[in-house]
Amino acid sequence: MVHVNAIEQACRRFGDHVALERQASAHTCAAYRRDLDRFCDYLKVEQITDLRDITPQIVESYLAACRTGADGRHSLAASSSARMLSSVRSFLAFSVDEGLIADNPAARVHRPKQDRRLPKALSLDDVNRLLAASSGEGAIDIRNRALLELLYGTGARISEAVALAVDDVDVHATQPIVRLMGKGRKERIVPLGTYACQALEHYLVRVRPDLAARGEGTPALFLNTRGRALSRQSAWGILRKVADAAGISQAVSPHTLRHSFATHMLEGGADVRVVQELLGHASVVTTQIYTQVTIQMLREVYATTHPRARG
């Protein structure tokens, strides 16, 4: 029988709290579980089995081990280390609320410094090539085109797209919309453009009924060839395959389409607060990084085209 120490028991209680009381998504619950499993393994090696023995120095040492891989796991980038600290902070804050410890030692630990990298958006030409590469008339091509048109046309996260049910999309309304469930289970309504609407209607009429007949009646909008809900991993694979077929050399992920959506909206003159609402960002500060993308592009164009931009 595997012995479970007090810290591991507290982690399990925290996992139940996140799933049941916070009603976090399965993806978020799994991420917390992975982060805290690694934290617990590190504490075991350090022979720490009591929550009260966790100090800010222990948390800092753990983050350093994560960054270098000194704990025997893969090394983490600064952004992933920051997420790891956030997970540990949340768990220890829960432990304070439960009366297991007096204060949160991770609250006094500084977040790892991160390079502020601008998101890489596709050019409009590359987006058009990408979508054209999924324009076949086979059932899977039609499904893939609907998925990609929705991702680029709405700026949806991949987790939001694969979580959609058929009833979340209204392609027949005077003003077609999609209801997306974002982080913190916050719902937002996003308009569907003509191309996304047509691609979805084509998929819903011609393809989805046949795919659904192979499964067990899931309400999911996007289905795989077995009639089950399309997974995030499968959606990633679809995009990589289509990007290769389109001959796009840049690395393309579902988030690339989200970046492209926001960048192209701002380049077209959209107000940053409108883009914030469409993306489901809690703060406009998060959205403002895309304004830097457009400014950077303007600088590059200016530098390469104005006769007196460079000496």
Domain extent listing, the chain: 6-108, 124-304
For 90-131, the pLDDT digits (tens) are 999 999 999 999 999 999 898 877 655 555 788 889 999 999
Q: Predicted confidence band at 261 (pLDDT cuts at 50, 70, 90)? A: confident
Q: What is the mean pLDDT of the chain?
A: 86
What is the C-alpha to C-alpha distance for residues 6 and 244, in angstroms, rounded to an integer? 49
Strand 187-191, strand 177-181: pairing: antiparallel
Q: What is the pLDDT of residues 155-188, one digit of tens each?
A: 898 989 999 999 999 998 888 989 998 877 778 8
| Catalytic status, residue 188 | no
Beta strands in the chain (DSSP E): 169-170, 177-181, 187-191
% pLDDT > 70, the chain = 87
> What digits encode the pLDDT tens for the residues 28-42?
889 999 999 999 999
- Active site (annotated) includes residue 89: no
- Catalytic residue chosen out of the listed positions 183, 188, 202, 228: 183
Q: Find how far residue 21's CA is from the centre of its chain.
A: 22
Q: Is 116 a catalytic residue?
A: no
Helix, strand, coil shares of the chain, percent, nearest 5, are 60, 5, 35
The active-site residue out of 110, 206, 214, 255 is 255
283 has pLDDT over 80: no
Segment 65-79 mean pLDDT = 87
Question: What's the fold here for domain 6-108?
Answer: DNA polymerase; domain 1 (1.10.150)
- Classify domain 124-304 by CATH number: 1.10.443.10
- Integer Cα distance of 147 and 132 in angstroms: 13
258 is catalytic: yes
Task: Say which of 32, 62, 152, 290 is annotated catalytic.
Answer: 290
For the question of residue 203 being annotated catalytic, the response is no
Angle, in degrees to the nearest 10, between helices 26-45 and 56-68: 100
